[in-house]
Amino acid sequence: MLTVYGGVEIYGQIDQLRKGVDIFVGTTGRVKDHMERGNFNFSALRFAVLDEADIMLNLGFKEDVEHIMKTIKDSNPRNL
């Protein structure tokens, strides 16, 4: 399992992502950061869970959440 969030060094997270992870948990901003760097391969993703999505939307992260979910869906439309 890998948890990613801002405020900590990103390179250790990148190394773990390159090795592969079974469970990935992250904050919206850091997930977007990894996506923009091309650190994810969603082709084998089986489940996506948005914990406290209502709070993220209320805090103004609607576009970010939509972008992440669209990217996941476009990368793997059969499994989600």
Query: What confidence score (pLDDT) does residue 53 get?
Result: 82
The domain locations on the chain are 2-75
Architecture, CATH, for domain 2-75:
3-Layer(aba) Sandwich (3.40)
- Rg of the chain on CA atoms, in Å: 12
Counting other chains too, the contacts that 54-63 makes at CB distance below 8 Å and 24 or more residues apart are: 56/28, 61/28
Query: What confidence score (pLDDT) does residue 39 get?
Result: 93
pLDDT digits (tens, 9 = 90+) for 14-72: 999 999 899 999 988 999 999 999 998 888 888 888 888 888 889 999 999 999 999 98
Structure confidence at residue 80 as a pLDDT band (50, 70, 90): low
pTM over 0.85: no
For 75, the 3-state DSSP assignment is helix
Residue 36 CA, distance from chain mean position? 11
